[in-house]
Amino acid sequence: MHDISLDVMPGEKILIVGPSGSGKSTLGHCLNGLIPFSYKGEHTGSLRIAGLEASEQDVFTLSRHVGTVLQDSDGQFVGLTVGEDIAFALENDCMDLPQMHARVRQAAGLVDMEPLLTSSPYELSGGQKQRTALAGVMINDVDILLFDEPLANLDPATGKTAIEIIDDIHKDTGKTILIIEHRLEDVLHRPVDRVIVMQEGRIVADLPPDVLLCGDTLQKSGIREPLYITALKYAGVKMAPILRPGGIDTIDLSAAKGALAAWMHTAERAAPPELRPPILELRDICFAYEPGGKAVLNHVSFTIRQGEMAAIVGRNGAGKSTLTKLLCGFEKPVQGSIRYRGEDIAGHTIRERAEYIGLVMQNPNQMISEAMLAEEVGLGLKLRGVPEAEREARVKQALAICGLLPFRRWPISALSFGQKKRVTVASMLALNPDILILDEPTAGQDFKHYTEIMRFLCELNAKGITVLLITHDMHLMLEYTPRAIVLSEGELVCDAPASEVLTESGVIERANLRETSLYTLAQRTGLQDAAGFVQCFIDHERWMRQQ
Amino acid sequence: MKIKVFSYNTLDTPIHHMSGLSKFICFLLLTFTVMFSYDIRVILCMLVFSLWVLRLSQIRFSQIRLMVIYVAVFLLTNFVISYLFAPEQGPEIYGAKHIITVLWGRYTITWEQLLYQGTKTMKYASVVPLGIIFMLTTNPSEFAAALAGVGLSYKVAYAVALTLRYFPDVQRDYNDISMAQQARGLDMSKKASLGSRFKNALLIIIPLIFSTLDRVESISNAMDLRGWGKNKKRTWYARRRFSRQDVAGIVISVLFFAAGILVSVFINHSRFFNPFQ
């Protein structure tokens, strides 16, 4: 970080945005004392928190003023039950038991977790874990609440609720709130006082959202602006702070109505992809982990065509990962059939299926087991006893497709997260699959890396590889996958273009999604065909990418 | 489903109401009694008692089926191997030899050997339910609290609770990684040779270590930020007061312990019960 000068007034609510590596997490670590307590380094200048010079305080003193809710809601849950986890800070303060129990109940009440005090983390959803973490820092009665990427591990609907809870706490308690996040639009669901944009270790903007959204700072620093703003810009609507563009609910759209309707007719659009023969056909799939037990999948049928790119969406426990297990052969369906190019694959082993279905997991660290890149990518072939000459040729080819050829003699530890992701894709491609299944390929990625990964997947897709994405990232669905298959409690509730899925309130609710701001924009401007408008936006963005 | 192996249930039984520490004391007393005595009468009493406690704590058989199978296999192997290596152990101990039948060479079946090996097997069989009860009815953090209460460093005590907290997470990671590697062609089935299975296991363990290290960083940050290690002492949310059940449990265990010792001292005049002299 360089030249950071920043004043935060008591009771302010501030959003800090910036791409990965911009220094926004470092700033957070300075505030809560993890720098220099856990991460050493050099510093000049002065940081005062509640009048105290931060570098002279230890992490414990600072934690009385700054309460931090970390990104990893699972990792920061240290107790075996909700109650214990909330009490953690009080335990370390040696508080008496009766007083502690009373305080824990009170803090749990603030975030509606009181009925779940004895639940273990395995019984909780991501949102509930985050509420627990919030209660765990509020219990110290801190003045400043710092949220480090609070939306990273939450589905859209839960993320929306999280932003609402933060806002309610801000209103009720008047605490100072700092939110570090790169998903600007999702945070702006509720108003903030200021947005601080960081880039390459510097503050490049410190503005109220209404002003920030009128300029071009966001595009320059690799942050995605809210979709409704993008749509309005496409339609040629001029932005001005006086129109209050900071929120989809506050923006004055009186001038936009005609422009949007006109744009819908004139926008350049990409042609819809042609229909190809089926590559995967699922017919009436039923599955339960225990015989006679609860059905995890219930009569699910759909067809994936060659060269398609589709998203499989649904809340946790909807059956998405079970579906993957069935496709890859880790589990066998109780009923129904899976066909690959017209052939029933019930008799195929996990290993055989891996030659046509490649599975790429969310966290590349969970897949990489070799130290050197070429070995890692060739591992699957080596395990299959493919001769060395052929192996080398195929590894080279896979690395070339993934743009990793220059690194092939590199140790994997020297690669970035995005590059590691490519390595895991390359190790699958070495087996020549026709279908790639990716679990949350963009989770935790900022806009730049996200775009990089998705462009890469689109290139693979253009080469004829069928791509299935398991995701709850709505932007990903909107921008990249023409089709979304929505699961809810083991049933297929919708199989339609993303534009329809994200404008259909019943489906949105069942899949824990939220409606896109484009839909709200269409409704507020009185456009008749809201889904058509969203589709127009998607097609236009695809057209722009093709240019 | 494997996750259930390490989880305790919260039920409304006298055993669940006992504090972890007193359960641990009872466990030690009763285990010592069983281990000390070679009197089949004492041991059968203990077996009946521990099965009764198992019933009292409402542990369902389905919860412990796997463990029971492992123990049964272990006991059977132990029984056979003890006999193969020392078929004369019983006669030696009891100073008598009542032969039932001769199998082959020095391998005879004697009443003495049967009693000795039967006693030994029953000893194991009566300790196992006690261990199961302790594991399945004790809240790990409450136990950690109790351990810290009797002078163990709270950092060590908390490490126990933390291990139990994150064990299922690591287990889930392991399953995920193993799936991904199998899809690449890793053979973990019995078809592969032992050597290659070992090598293949490494291919799962390396990514497991790296993803676990990622987790460690975020856990330790979360703990630091909430004042972990600030003071020399800490209090425990899960701490329990000594209740009537605790007193009753310890008194009963002490009685068993004393009875076991007294039988050895005054009736058998040895750790062994010898009906052959």
pLDDT in tens, A244-260: 999 999 999 988 888 99
Report domain extents, chain B. Answer: 1-139+239-277, 152-237
* Sequence letter at residue B117: Q
Q: CA-CA distance, A463 to A459, in Å (whole number)?
A: 6
* Whole-angstrom distance, CA of residue B182 vs CA of residue A333: 19
Q: Are strands A278-288 and A295-305 parallel, antiparallel or unpaired?
A: antiparallel
Indicate the DSSP class of residue B190. Answer: T
Residues of A within 8 A of B221 (CB-CB) are 34, 38, 70, 76
Per-residue confidence band for B192, with pLDDT thresholds at 50, 70 and 90? low
Q: What are residue A112's DSSP bridge partners?
A: none
> What dihedral angle (degrees, nearest 10) is formed by the CA atoms of A307, A308, A313, A317?
-40
Tens digits of residue pLDDT in A142-186: 999 999 999 887 888 999 999 999 999 999 999 999 999 988 999
Q: What is the 3-state secondary structure (H, E, C) of A134-187?
A: HHHHHCCCCCEEEEECCCCCCCHHHHHHHHHHHHHHHHHHCCEEEEECCCHHHH
d(CA B115, CA B203): 49
Q: For residue B50, give both structure tokens.
A: 């521990």
Q: Tell me which residue in B164, B173, B234 faces A94 most closely, judged by beta carbons.
A: B234
- Contact flag A63-B168 (C-beta cutoff 8 Å): no
pLDDT single digits (tens) A55-87: 888 888 898 899 999 888 888 899 888 999 999
Is residue B237 within 8 A of residue A413, CB to CB? The reply is no
Give residue B5's pLDDT.
43
Contacts 24+ apart (CB under 8 A), A528-533: A530/A503, A531/A499, A531/A500, A531/A503, A532/A264, A532/A499, A533/A260, A533/A264
Residues of A in contact with B237 (CB under 8 A): 79, 83-84, 87, 90-91, 97, 100-101, 104
- In this predicted structure, the answer to whether residue A459 has a pLDDT above a threshold of 70 is yes
B193 to chain A, any CB pair closer than 8 A? The answer is no
Average pLDDT over residues A29-41: 88
* Mean local confidence (pLDDT), A390-408: 90
Residues of B in contact with A84 (CB under 8 A): 141, 237-238
Closest CA to A310 of A444, A492, A447, A158: A492
Q: Which of A119, A96, A107, A82 is nearest to B239 (CA)?
A: A96
| Chain A residue with the nearest C-alpha to that of B155 | A92
Q: What's the CA gap between B38 and B272, in Å, rounded?
A: 5
Beta-bridge partners for A357: A435
Q: Do A92 and B168 touch (CB under 8 A)?
A: no
Pair B139, A328: CB distance under 8 Å: no
The mean pLDDT value of chain A amounts to: 90
Residue A332 near residue A326 (C-beta atoms within 8 A): yes
Domains and CATH numbers, chain A: 13-223 (3.40.50.300), 226-266+516-547 (no CATH), 278-514 (3.40.50.300)
B130-150 as b/e: b if 16+ CB within 10 A:
bebbbbbbbbbbbbbbbbbbe
Report which residue type is found at A311: A
**Which range among A96-110, A405-419, A470-484, B158-172 has the greatest average pLDDT?**
A96-110
Residues of B in contact with A92 (CB under 8 A): 226-231, 234
Q: What is the pLDDT of residue B38?
A: 92
Residues 116-135 of B with CB under 8 A from A: none
The Cα A430–Cα A432 span in angstroms is: 5
> What pLDDT is stored for residue B4 in this prediction?
45
Give the integer Cα–Cα distance in Å for A223 and A184.
8
Cβ contact, residue pair B177, A83, below 8 Å: no
Closest CA to A85 of A136, A128, A124: A136
CB of B171 less than 8 A from some CB of A: no
> Could you give the ipTM of this predicted complex?
0.81
Query: Could you tell me the two tokens for B236?
Result: 């425990």
What sign does the CA torsion over A408, A409, A410, A412 have?
positive
Q: Does A520 score more than 50 pLDDT?
A: yes
What's chain A's length in residues? 547
A384–chain B nearest CA distance, Å? 6
Tokens for B259, please give them.
Answer: 């009875």
**What distance in Å separates residue A240's CA from the closest CA in chain B?**
42
Q: Is A528 a residue whose pLDDT tops 80?
A: yes
What pTM value is reported for the model? 0.84
Amino acid, single-letter form, for residue A440: E
Classify A484 as helix, strand or coil: strand
The residue of chain A with its CA nearest to that of B165 is A80
Q: What is the pLDDT of residue A126?
A: 86
**pLDDT, average across residues B256-260:** 94
